[in-house]
Chains A and B, each alone.
Chain A
Amino acid sequence: MTRQKRSHHRLKRAVAPYLYLSPSLVIIGLLMLLPMVTVIGYSFQNSAVLRRDPSFAGLKHYQAIFNDPVFWASLWHTLYFTCMSVIFHMTIGMVFALMLNSDRINPTLRNVLRVLYILPWLFTAVIIAVIWRLLLEPNGVVNSVLMQIGVIGSKVEWFSSPETALHAVTFANIWAGYPLFMVSLLAGLQGIPKDFYEAADIDGAKAYQKLIFITIPQLMPIIISISLLDFIWTMQVFPLIWITTGGGPIYSTEVLSTYTYKLAFSSYNLSQASASAVVILLISLGLTLFYIRYQKAR
């Protein structure tokens, strides 16, 4: 091979991977990076989008949202909503996965339960919101059942009372999201060698000791990965809250996504909305970096 041919071949080999990557890079650039950079730019402008030549605003909009008590309430609600959702998704997912993996349950019943337990996952956020609005209506099924069994004395306005609204939307989100954990943990459980449990049986392990010393450590990589992903996704939940409570009553279910949406499309304060969006982006980015570092460490 001549020297020229060889260098041409080398160049082709060096460029080829980037050519293969280019379609996805173009799409990511156009649909993700460009809007992201634009929004970051808006957050530093006065009257972004609304004026043709917006002036530079510095950190004014960030100051504004950090001085807004509703923003801090939204941040707190987001954290509560997200943490409770992830904890209960994991707990319920784990309990159901253990049940579905158990030999003690009749195989037919197990198959029926598997379908039933996975149902919430099949619904879109809008349908889930509508179902729970109907169920939790003052004259809905939940109130009627709770009153009949004597848990509550009078009808509770679950979504309309500031005391219960945040718990109610969190509950609906927990119901909607546990199947992801259940399915992932079930797959993990099925991958744990049976020998581990048999060896533990011979060593005299009780059921809870097998759970603590074998099952949970074996599932830990899945638990951490799915929890981090769930945390990132749940932080950004919008339709469920928007349709059930719209962030109300009196901001009691306002989360960062509804807060930002209202700034943009109710108040038309797109600059401040962009600043709020950048805050969400930074929190998500922090979690994502943590997730990537964890994955790399594995």
Chain B
Amino acid sequence: MAEVILENICKTYGNNFRAIDQLNLSVEDGEFLILVGPSGCGKSTALRMIAGLEDITSGSLRIGGVDVVDMPPKDRDIAMVFQSYALYPHMTVFENIAFSMRLAGKPKAERRKRVDEIAKTLQLTSLLDSKPANLSGGQRQRVAMGRAMVREPAAFLMDEPLSNLDAKLRVQMRAEITSLQKQLGVTTIYVTHDQIEAMTMGDRVAVLKGGVLQQVDTPKRLYESPVNAFVAGFIGSPSMNLFEATLKGGALVSRDFSMRLQDAAFVGRPALRSYEGRKVVFGIRPEHLYDSNLESGRKYQTIPAKVTSIEELGSEHIVHLNIDAVRVDSGDPDAAEDFGLASNAVARFEPVSAIHSGSEIRLAVDDTKFHFFDPETHLAI
């Protein structure tokens, strides 16, 4: 077990494309860190650089206090779980798990003992003689974990290990990996593009965009205090609603509505006052928008909105709305999927809400939950 420290790590490809720019990250001993970001943000590249599968253009990387920049992957004391699992189809589960021990020339009895222990932990004992082709997705995933565990590494690296599983199995495996990591206490760096995995599994989450680290924090703090509009939009599903409005006399003013801001909004953010008379980006999460006809929404200010569509999920309604404000793009390419063509806002209503598609409603807004961002830099105010 060891801490993993990345200092000013850069990765530039031959065509001058900079995949990673000045990445600084410190992963504590035994910590479960999630690297998350949209496709092409450099998260897998960063992980592969830690593994030694990609060269580091510049910067320093230490695992357990040892500088490993020039070390081949096998000497870095890490184990990796690949997105495809990379299980050898011609080998049995036992042979797959024991492969690194076989390469290291460990005696057969030792291999058998160690693999049996791991198989017991992962509930693979009855499958040791099977070939990967005869296993289910979840079982293959566990074999891949077993292959990583057998090396007793200082750190686990996992590259989107759940992305090939169906939704139900993913939920189950998420819990299994998390509890296994806690049980083993091995430093783990886990790459995913799925922010639900990021929020539910990690001790801390590092959000990357375009090769640049945006924020590293606990899931709760990332959700509650995003440092910029990208993190605000990326973390949370459905995404945070981001709009542009003018701050006038302590209220957010758009063409069709005006929302008075509470004093608390300015107390926590003294810089917000300097935006008086100027445009500002405000964000509000879908769960902080309410149906004004319901008890839960009665105490809040309301603004006019048109319902464009409703997704009835049983436990809640995901309501797509159109309000008279300019929506701001957070820079997350996946966020656009949360909004339909005709809508620019999303709300989560209680399932008792009686609204229907096409109706004009008064949308209640919890004005204590606003996030504010600079319209130019998109940095949090």
Contact = CB atoms under 8 A, between A and B. Distances in A.
Interface string B64-89: 00000000111000111011101011
B90 A199 contact: no
Nearest to B90: A217
A202 B79 contact: yes
Given A198-B53, A214-B88, A217-B90, A203 B82 contact: no
* Residue of B80, B86, B104, B151 ringed by the most chain A CB atoms within 10 A: B86
A199 B157 CA distance: 12
A201 B71 CA distance: 12
Given A203-B103, A204-B74, A209-B103, A196 B86 contact: yes
A33 B104 CA distance: 58
A202 B88 contact: no
A195 B83 CA distance: 9
Interface in B81-127: 82-84, 86, 88-91, 99-100, 103-104
B74 A202 contact: yes
Contacts of A213: 88, 99, 103
Contacts of A201: 52-53, 72-74
What does DSSP make chain A's interface, helix, strand, loop or mixed?
Answer: helix
A205 B104 CA distance: 8
Contacts of A199: 80, 82, 86, 147
Nearest to B151: A203
A214 B95 CA distance: 12
A151 B51 CA distance: 50
Contacts of B52: 201-202
Contacts of B73: 198, 201-202
Contacts of B99: 200, 203, 213
Contacts of B80: 198-199, 202
Interface string B144-168: 0001000100000000000000000
Interface string A195-230: 110111111110001000110011010000000000
A201 B151 CA distance: 13
Contacts of A218: 89-90
A153 interface: no
A87 B104 CA distance: 32
Nearest to A217: B90
A211 to B, nearest CB: 13
B114 to A, nearest CB: 14
Nearest to B83: A195
A193 interface: yes
A205 B100 CA distance: 8
A196 B104 contact: no
A204 B104 contact: yes
B123 to A, nearest CB: 22
A204 B86 contact: no
Contacts of A193: 84, 86
Contacts of A204: 74, 100, 103-104
Contact of B84 (A195, A209, A214): A195
A200 B80 CA distance: 10
Interface in A22-81: none
Nearest to B148: A202
